[in-house]
Amino acid sequence: MRTTPSLRIAAILWGAAGFAGLWALWELAAFGVANDAVLPGPRVVLWQFERHAGGDRGLEFLGVEHSSYGINLAWTVGTAGLGWLIGSALGVAAGLGAARRQWLRDVTEPVLFVFGAVPVLVVAPLLLVWLGAGPVGKLTLVTFYCFVVVAVVAQSAALNLPPAVEEYAATLGLDAAARFRAVVLPAALPAIVAVLRLALATGISLQAGAELLGPRVGMGRLISLRAQQGNVGEVLSLSITLGLVAVLLDTAVRAAVAPALRWQG
Amino acid sequence: MSRPTGLEVRSLTVTYGSGPKAVTPLHDLDLDVPRGQFLCVLGPSGQGKSTLLRCLAGLLAPTAGTITALGEPVTGPSATRGMVFQQDAIPGWLRVADNVALGPRNRRLPESQWRPRVDHFVEAVGLRGRERAWPRELSGGMRKRVAVAAVFANDPDILLMDEPFASLDHLTRQGLHRTLLTLWQETGKTIVFVTHDVDEALALADRVVVIAGGGVRADAVVPFPRPRTDDLRMDATANALRTNLLHHLGV
Amino acid sequence: MITNKVWGVRLRTRARGRALVAGSLAGLVLWQVLAVIVGAVTTQGAHVVPPLPTIFTSGITGLSHFYKGGLGPATTIEGAPDSPGLAALAVGQNGLVTWGRFWAGYLLAVGLGLPAGLLVAGARPVRHAVGGVAGLLRMLPLLAMAPLFTLWFGATGRAGVLFVTFGAFWVVLLATSNAVANLPAHVTDYPRTLGLGPVRLRTRVVLPAILPQLRGALMLAAGTAWACVLASELYGIQSGLGWALNQTLVYSLVDQMIVLALLFAGLSLASLRLIDAVTGHLTRWTE
C-alpha cells in the first residue's frame, strides 16, 4: 500500500489524538478511584518523576548507592543493550547458518526448539546461583534470550525465501557464497530487523524483570523497592521512563536500517 | 562443417520419490538442439516440460542419462545457461538497473566492461527511464522484461525459458514476444522455450517438440518466415501444423 | 517433495527428530561431566551443579515441601517425610495453578484482543490512534511491572491472571488490526455483495480470513503470557511453579530448581503445541 504525505500526517495526528485520549482516560480513571496510593493520575506520576529523577535520599537510607534515574537507566539499558548486541550478532549468524548447513541446524535445533517456546526467564534463578547477583548473570540472560529469538526468526526467514529466486541467481552464475550475500541476506533482512527491534524491547524488559530478583543497581531494583513501599506512582514513573527510552532506541534502530528496507515500500 | 550442437540430451530419466509413490515424468528422453535454434517445448501440464528445463539448467540432477551443453557435460547451474522463470524470481531489493547487472557484477569485472551491455539491454526491453525503479513499482509484464534483460545482459550461450509469459495478458505477451525475437535475432542465442500454448510456439519457434508420457511425442519444423503476424491463424499450412500438434497434445 | 539431489541449489536444511534426541542426550552427558568436574574441584560443587542421580532423586522428592495439603495426605510441615507421592501432589497442585493462570489470562487476552482489534481496524483514524498507544504500551518493561499488579490486586491469583492478560492483550490487538488492514479488498467485497451485515461480515469472513496471519501472533502472545505467569509467580504470588522456583532460589536448592524449570518448560511447550494444533486445524484450508 502506498502512503501519501497527507495520509502520513493524518496518521501522526490521529496517533497524537490516541495519546491525548489515553491521558484523558487515565485522568478520568484516577479521578474516579480518587486515591493516589492506588491509581495516581498522570500528573501525579509526572510530579513523582520530577521529584525523584535526580535521586532520592530516602532510598539511599535503604542501601541504594545511586538512586537517580540516570545512573540506573544507564545501567539497565546499557547491560540489556550489550546483551542485545552480542546475542543478536550470534543469533543472526547461527540462524542463517542453520538454514544453510544441516550440521549447524542439528546442533542449534534442540536449543532453539525448547527456548523458542519456553520463556528464557525460567533459567534466571539458575544464572543467579551460578553467576551471582551481579551484572554477568543478567547479561548472560539477555544475551541468551536475544540469541534464541533472533536465531529462530533469521533461520525461518532464510528458509522462506522462494526457491525460484535463489535458482534464478544460480543460473546467472552466482555460487553458494555469492547467493548467500546477494540473495539470502537481503531477503531475510526485513524479518531480521523486525525481530531485532522486538528483541531490544523485550531484552530491556527481561533485564529489568531479572533485576527484581535482587541486584544493587538498575531500574528493576528501584521498581522493586518502590513496590515494597507501596508507591504506585513511582513504579509507574520508573516503568514509563524505561518504556520511553526503549521507544527512543527502537526509533533509532528503525531510522538506521530504513534505507536498507526501502525496496519494500 | 555442420553447426555445433548447443544441447545434447541422452537417455534422460527423472524419477521423483521411490517405491509405489514414485513418479517418472521423463523416461529415456533424447533431444538435440542445434546452436542458435529457437526451440519451443510443448506438452500437457505435469508431463515433464519444466522438469526437462530444470535438468538443462543444472538445477535438477537426472536419475539417469546425460546432458551436454556446447560439448561440456552439465553438472550444475552455470552462467552459460541462463533461465527465465514462470514465477517472479527477480530479487525485489534490487532496482531495475541493479537487477540487470546482477550477473555481470558478480563476476567482478570492471564496470566499464559490463555497464554498456546492461544499458543496452535495459533500453532494448523498453525500460529506459525506469532504471531506478523498484520491482514492486513495476507491472508483472515489466518485471518479466527485467528478467529477460538480466539474462541477456549476463551473455549466456543458452537461454532456458519456463513458461515465462504464462501469467500475462495477450497484448503484454505479444509485446514481449516481439522483444524476445528481436534480441534473439540480434544475439543468435540458443533458446529452449517451454509453453503449453500452441499458438505461442508457432509464433516464436524454429522448431517445436511435444513432450508427453516421458518422451518426445512429436518433432516439427516451423517453416514460416519472420516477422510472423496474426495472419498465421488463417494460413492452411499453419493450421495443419497446429492441428497435428494439438493432436499430439491429446486435444 | 523432490528427493532427487538438486544440483547447486540445495542449501536448505530441515529439522530432524534424531538431532533433537541426540542434542538432548548430549546435553545430559555434558551436564553429568560438568557436575563431576565441578564436584571434584570445589567444596560446594555438588550443590551448585548437582549430578543427574541427585536431580532425579532428591531433586524430585524434595518438591514434597511445596505440597500445601488439602488433598488427603499430611504435609511435610505436619511431619510427613519427603516422598515421590507427595512430590507428585506438590507438582500437580502448583502445576495446575500455573496452568490455570496461563489459560485464564491468555484466553481472556485473546477474547478481548480479537474483538477489540476487529473494532479498531474498522476505521482508519481509530486504527492510528489505538495503534500508536498500543505500540508504546508494548514497549513498557512488562516483566518489571509484575509488582504493580500485586500492589493493585494483592498477591493473589487474580493479579497473576490480569497481569498475563495485560501482557498478551496488546500483542493480539495490534496483530488483529494490522491483519485486517492488510486484508485485500476483494475478500470482503464479494461477501458484501451477498448482503452480509457488519457483524456477520466480521465473524464469518474477516476473522477466518485473517486467522492464518494471526497464527504467529497468537503463538507470540502465548510466549509472552508464559513469561508473565512466571514473572508474577517469581515475584509476590505464593503459589504455582514459579513461586516454588523462587523458593528453590531463596534456599539455593539447585536440584529442585532444575526439576521445576523442566516442568515449567514442559507445561509451556505443551500449551504452545496445543495452540499450534488448534490454530492449524482452524486454518487447514490454506494448505
Average pLDDT over residues C213-235: 92
For residue C274, give every residue at least 6 positions away whose Cβ sits within 8 Å of its Cβ, in sequence order, or none. none
Q: Looking at the structure, do residues A1 and A122 belong to the same domain, yes or no?
A: no
What DSSP element (H or E) covers B32?
Answer: strand B23-34
Residue C2 has pLDDT above 60, yes or no: no
Q: What's the N-to-C CA distance of chain A in angstroms?
A: 8
Together in a domain, A197 and A66: yes
* Residue C180 amino acid letter: V
**Domain regions of chain C by residue span:** 17-49, 94-286
Do A25 and A48 lie in one domain? The reply is: no
Give backbone dihedrals phi and psi of B169, rounded to 5 degrees, phi first. Answer: -75, 165
Average pLDDT over residues C219-228: 94
- Residue numbers in B near C2 (CB within 8 A): 16, 60
Query: Taking CB atoms and an 8 Å limit, are C133 and A102 in contact across chains?
Result: no
- Which chain A positions have a beta carbon within 8 Å of B103's beta carbon? 172-174
- In this prediction, residue C1 has a pLDDT band, given cuts at 50, 70 and 90, of very low
Which CATH number does the domain housing residue A247 bear?
1.10.3720.10
Q: Under a CB-based contact definition with an 8 Å cutoff, are residues B188 and B36 in contact?
A: yes
Q: Give chain A's contact residues with B (Cβ, < 8 Å).
A: 162, 164-165, 167-174, 178, 182-183, 186-187, 189, 262-265
List chain B residues with CB under 8 Å of A263: 92-95, 134-136
Are residues A145 and A20 part of one domain? no
Task: Output the pLDDT for position A3.
Answer: 58
Determine contact: A164 vs chain C, CB below 8 A.
no
pLDDT tens per residue across span C187-222: 777 777 787 777 788 887 888 889 988 998 999 999
Domain co-membership, A90 together with A20: no
pLDDT tier for residue C5 given thresholds of 50, 70 and 90: very low
What is the domain range of residue A47?
Answer: 40-264
pLDDT band at residue C131, thresholds of 50, 70 and 90? Answer: confident
Residue B251 or B39, more confident: B39
Chain C contact present for A165, CB below 8 A: no
Kindly report the average pLDDT of chain A as a whole number.
Answer: 91
Number of domains chain A is built from: 2
Same domain, yes or no, for A149 and A246? yes
Alpha-carbon separation of residue A98 from B160, C204, C267 (angstroms): 32, 40, 27
Å from A130 to nearest chain C CA?
7
Among C127, C218, C224, which Cα is nearest to C177's? C127
Q: What is the pLDDT of residue B3?
A: 54
Confidence at residue C201, expressed as pLDDT on a 0 to 100 scale: 82
* Residue C70 confidence (pLDDT): 83
What's the angle, vertex CA B53, arms to CA B52 and CA B54, rounded to 5?
A: 95
Whether the pLDDT of residue B112 is over 50: the answer is: yes
List of chain C residues whose C-beta atoms are within 8 Å of the C-beta of residue B75? 7
Q: Which residue has the cell 518523576?
A: A49
pLDDT in tens, C69-87: 888 888 888 888 899 999 9
pLDDT beyond 90 at C151: no
Q: Looking at the predicted structure, is the pLDDT value of residue C4 above 80?
A: no
Phi, psi (rounded to 5 degrees) for B248: -70, -25
State the nearest Cα–Cα gap between C72 and chain A, in angstroms. Answer: 31
Q: In a 3-state reduction of DSSP, which class is residue B10? A: strand
Of A171, A262, A264, the CB nearest to B83: A171
Chain B: give the shortest CA distance to residue C12, in Å: 14
Specify whether A98 is located in the same domain as A142. Answer: yes
B76 in C contact zone (CB under 8 Å): yes
Cell 514462470 sits on residue: B86
Residues A29 and A47 in one domain: no
- More reliable by pLDDT, B229 or A190: A190
Q: Is A27 in the same domain as A135?
A: no
Q: What element of type H or E holds B209?
A: strand B207-212
Dihedral of the CA atoms A98, A99, A100, A104 (nearest 10)? 20
For residue A54, what are the CA distances in angstroms to A135, A235, B65? 23, 15, 79
Neighbours of A16 (CB within 10 A): 13
Residues of C in CB contact (< 8 Å) with B are: 2-9
- Classified as helix, coil or strand, A17 is helix
CA Rg value for chain A: 22
Tell me what the mean pLDDT of segment B229-238 comes to: 83
Which B residues, 47 through 106, put their C-beta within 8 Å of a C-beta on chain A?
Answer: 57-59, 76-79, 81-83, 85, 87-95, 102-103, 106
- What is the average pLDDT across A135-139? 91
Task: Judge whether C51 and C35 are in contact, CB under 8 Å.
Answer: yes
Q: Are residues A70 and A192 in the same domain?
A: yes
Local confidence band at C10 (pLDDT 50, 70, 90 cut-offs):
low
* pLDDT at site A1: 46
Q: Nearest to residue B153, comparing CAs of B192, B125, B175?
A: B125
Dihedrals φ, ψ of A105, to 5°? Answer: -60, -45
Q: pLDDT tens-digit profile of A34-55?
A: 998 889 999 999 998 999 888 8
Please write the tens of the pLDDT for every residue from A158-204. 998 988 999 999 999 998 899 999 999 999 999 999 999 999 999 99
Q: Residue A56 corresponds to which cell in the numbers above?
A: 532520592
pLDDT tens digits for range A7-17: 888 888 988 99
Q: What is the CATH number of domain C94-286?
A: 1.10.3720.10
Q: Is the pLDDT of residue C102 over 50?
A: yes
Question: Is B63 part of the contact surface with chain C (CB cutoff 8 Å)?
Answer: yes
Domain co-membership, A203 together with A241: yes
Please check whether residues A134 and A22 belong to one and the same domain.
Answer: no
pLDDT at C8: 54
